[in-house]
Structure 1
Amino acid sequence: MIKDYVSDITFQNLSHKHMSFERVFRNIEQFMEKDPTGNFKLMFGTDSQVFSRETRFITGIVIQQERKGVWACFRKVTIPRRMTNLYERISYETTLTEEVVALFTDEKKDSLIDIVLPNIYKGASLSIEGHIDIGSGKRNKTSIFVKEMMSRINTIGLKPKIKPDSFVASSYANRFTK
Structure 2
Amino acid sequence: MQQQQWQYFNGTPIKQPIEEAVRQALLKEKAAGNTIKVCIGTDSQVKSRETAFATVIVFVRQGKGAFMYICNQGTKRKMPVKERMLKEVACSIDVAYSLCQLFIAFNVHLEVHADINTNPNFKSNTALKEAMGYIMGMGFAFKAKPHAFASSDCADRMVH
- Shorter-chain TM-score: which interval? 0.7 to 0.9
Residue deviations 1:37-90, cap 9 Å, x none? x3x21110000001123111111101101221112011111102333x001101
Q: Which of the residues 40, 46, 49 maps onto 1:44?
A: 40
Structure 1: any 5+ residue segments left out of the alignment? 1-7, 114-125
Question: What residue is the counterpart of 2:143 in the other structure?
Answer: 161
Q: Helix, strand or coil: the match of 1:67? A: coil
Aligned residues, how many?
155
State the one-letter code of the partner of 1:78.
G
Identical-residue share of aligned pairs (%): 28
Contact 1:11 1:24 in 2 (8 A): no
Q: How does 1:17-36 map to 2 (within 5 A)?
A: 17-19=13-15, 20-21=17-18, 22-36=20-34
Larger strand proportion, structure 1 or 2? 2
Instruction: Note the C-alpha offset of 1:29.
Output: 3.0
Check if 1:111 corresponds to 2:111. Answer: no
TM-score in terms of structure 1 length:
0.79
Contact 1:134 1:163 in 2 (8 A): yes
In 2: Cα distance, 1:32 partner to 1:170 partner: 27
Q: Helix, strand or coil: the match of 1:17? A: coil
TM-score in terms of structure 2 length:
0.87
Q: How does 1:66-85 map to 2 (within 5 A)?
A: 66-83=62-79, 85=80
Q: Helix, strand or coil: the match of 2:153? A: helix
Q: Which of the residues 101, 111, 134 maps onto 2:116?
A: 134
Structure 1 runs of 4+ aligned residues shifted over 3 Å read: none
In 2: Cα distance, 1:82 partner to 1:29 partner: 40
Instruction: Note the C-alpha offset of 1:18.
Output: 3.6
Structure 2: any 5+ residue segments left out of the alignment? none
RMSD after superposition: 1.7
Gap change, CA 1:18 and 1:109, over 3 Å in 2: closer
Q: Which of the residues 55, 58, 61 maps onto 1:59?
A: 55
